[in-house]
Amino acid sequence: RNELPAPGLNLAARSGSCHQCLYQFLAFVPPSNESLRKPGTASVMVDTQHPLTLLLNSSVGDRDLCKIQYHFGEFGNYSLVVKTLSTSTQTVSCDLIINEGPINSYLPILFAFLVYMGILAILIAGRLLMKIDPVRNWVYKKLNPRATDRMINSELGSPNTTDSINCDPTPQLWSTGSRQRLRSLDTFRGLSLVIMVFVNYGGGKYWFFKHESWNGLTVADLVFPWFVFIMGTSVALALGSMLRWGSSKWKVLRKILWRSFVLILLGILVVNPNYCLGPLSWDNLRIPGVLQRLGFTYLVVAALELLFTRADSGTWEGLFPALQDILPYWPQWIFILVLETIWLCLTFLLPVPDCPRGYLGPGGIGDFGKYPNCTGGAAGYIDRLLLGEKHMYQHPSSGVTYQSTIPYDPEGILGTINSIVMAFLGLQAGKITLFYKDQPKQIMNRFIIWGIVMGIISAILTKCSKEEGFIPINKNLWSISYVTTMSCFAFILLLLIYYLVDVKKWWSGAPFLYPGMNSILVYIGHQVFANYFPFKWKMQDSQSHAEHLAQNLTATTLWVIISYILYRRRIFWKI
């Protein structure tokens, strides 16, 4: 509300999450009508995700009148009253008045948490009750009398014991394999996948379940690198197992090539976000993608491990036995260091037209609008040069806050180098479990050491700052600081899950174990059926966090249930 006489006012705003951004024009507020004593008014909607800085200046002469920083709440109604306090000194006041208080948008999260905790409590109570013999027998008798007879026969013996044992030997083999398998790896993979499915479905439309606009981290930025990390861990265990069972390296290499090819093909033809632009054709085919990056990363890391792995992962008899999981593989480390040197050189030394050398910013209105078409610096330039703009991701997260207009692909060519580094660090975790098998204390100590080392490297690279470090944490760029930070988190998280699931056996890994054992099927399925009922339906209020959260949690839970059913039926889709 403008109570000042002519001229009118210009209202502009800048988001607190927008680093070194220009103010963006919101509205022109007309002057007051002195004859009618009616203030000039203008209505606008503003962002509530982050604090805003509002700037009011005169429409003539650009004289700044006031600047207000405030974090507005969702569905709140506010008035900014501009008036003259003293006509002699021309002092202007800007008062923010709350007309209608905002809603508490986090209540749906609390309610959902309580619901899931209630379900968990019921399941735990039921499991404890089923351990009591009279309760278990009564339940079995009520559900299926024949099952009760079979249970009694199995406990007391029956005339057909031999037939019962020989009729299906598979369960015995299955249980043997299950005991040998590290359930913590499947649990870790499943946890990453469940969070990934939830954020891909919308995350209840909360900003922290969306990808960060540029530098920094949200929950959504954690899961993909964790998935890459645990893929590397699985490579170490799987290749060692295949070679110990007598498979030749050529046979294993063919399997690696085939799996990589299928992953890349699925990513390009099945899970391609450019379908939203119309029927898929070469003109608008997105070449990079999540599965494509997984496929290529797997190819490089698995081939690198196959080249130097040994069928016998016994104790290394050489200098520094404490480094037996590192020193025998020094050529691998040299290869990874060369790759990282290439990333650093291309990122900071490659000349990019009309952009400063070594630019890591989002372009658009960032850096005070100096470099609007430099999104991603060298990484974006390489993709546009080699792939073409139409074959890249068309709606990068930087477009929302920084209003960048050119395509940028977070799964682009240059970032793939650091995803290889991420998978290689996961491979290191796998080697630790192999070299120190049956020594859980040693495994956990190594995980702690690696987590601390990665954390120290991250602190140095970022200067413990979101924006001011040498190399900021950035998921879009897959910066090396992002990789070391995510590896630090991954080592610590894997340590906790390994301790709970495989060492102490306090937790079975459920329910994350089940999607973790059918990860490719769940990932592709949740993408293909994203817009089909019951994973999505028409909502009464598209602005409601509660409805979005209910829909997204329902869809995610359904995929966990589907993976559980497949697990019970022993159906696993492997590539």
Encoded tokens for 153: 């026969």
Tabulate helix, strand, coil % of the chain (nearest 5).
55, 10, 35
Which H/E stretch holds residue 391?
none
Using only the alpha carbons of the chain, give its radius of gyration: 29
What contacts 24+ positions apart, CB below 8 Å, involve 488-492? 488/451, 488/452, 488/454, 488/455, 488/458, 489/222, 489/226, 489/451, 490/225, 490/226, 490/229, 490/230, 490/425, 490/426, 490/429, 491/429, 491/447, 491/448, 491/450, 491/451, 491/454, 492/447, 492/448, 492/451
Tell me if 80 sits within 8 A of 93, measured CB to CB: no
Catalytic residue among 19, 50, 211, 526: 211
Nearest-angstrom CA–CA distance, 399 and 406: 8
157, exposed or middle or buried, with CB in 10 Å at 0-12, 13-18, 19+? Answer: exposed
Number of CB atoms found within 10 A of residue 341's CB: 11
Distant-in-sequence, close-in-space partners of 422: CB < 8 Å, separation ≥ 6? 225, 228, 229, 232, 297, 478, 483, 486, 487
Give, in order, the Cα–Cα distances in Å from 113 to each of 63, 178, 346: 50, 31, 45
Distant-in-sequence, close-in-space partners of 304: CB < 8 Å, separation ≥ 6? 332, 335, 424
- Catalytic residue list contains 548: no
Pick the closest to residue 52 from 16, 105, 88, 101 (CA basis). 16
Nearest-angstrom CA–CA distance, 170 and 175: 9
532, exposed or middle or buried, with CB in 10 Å at 0-12, 13-18, 19+? Answer: exposed
Give, in order, the Cα–Cα distances in Å from 167 to each of 148, 164, 175: 19, 5, 16
Nearest-angstrom CA–CA distance, 293 and 319: 37
Tell me if 229 sits within 8 A of 423, measured CB to CB: yes
Q: 10 by DSSP, 3-state: which?
A: strand
Nearest-angstrom CA–CA distance, 445 and 443: 5
Q: What are the start-end ranges of the E strands in 251-385?
A: none
390, exposed or middle or buried, with CB in 10 Å at 0-12, 13-18, 19+? Answer: middle
Pick the closest to residue 523 from 563, 475, 476, 570 (CA basis). 563
Nearest-angstrom CA–CA distance, 334 and 345: 16
Tell me if 67 sits within 8 A of 44, measured CB to CB: no
Catalytically annotated residues: 211
